[in-house]
Amino acid sequence: MSFIALKFWAEWCGPCKTLEPHLKKMKEEFPAIEFQAVDCDDDKGLVKQYQVKSVPTIILLKNGVETNRIVGSVLITPLRKALRDFTKENENDNS
């Protein structure tokens, strides 16, 4: 079972830069989740595939299927809750 958090960001995006130190902490807090970053200016194919309209956007994927999407600059609390729920799903799937 794979759990991935895709972060869509851009170099020119202030809120994306503000989010980065929080994501580093969350990577340690949620080791079962693979965190990946997608630069929207460099990978327009993934931007189109996931229909990303603004940055930052975090998409949670379970076995390649989107289970949650968090968009915008006020991400920290809802993202931590979503990751916690994501982790609980993982624990429930393994029991």
Beta strands in 1-95 (DSSP E): 3-9, 34-39, 57-62, 65-71
**How many structural domains are present in the chain?**
1
Position 58 scores a pLDDT of: 93
13 part of the active site: yes
Instruction: Give me the domain span that covers residue 79.
Output: 3-93
pLDDT (tens digit, 9 = 90+) per residue, 54-89?
999 999 999 999 999 988 876 678 778 888 888 775
pLDDT (tens digit, 9 = 90+) per residue, 2-13?
899 999 999 999
Quote the CA–CA distance of 3 and 64 in Å, as a whole number.
8
CATH code for position 50: 3.40.30.10
pTM of the model: 0.85
16 part of the active site: yes
Catalytic residue from among 5, 6, 10, 16:
16
Catalytic residue from among 13, 37, 71, 76:
13
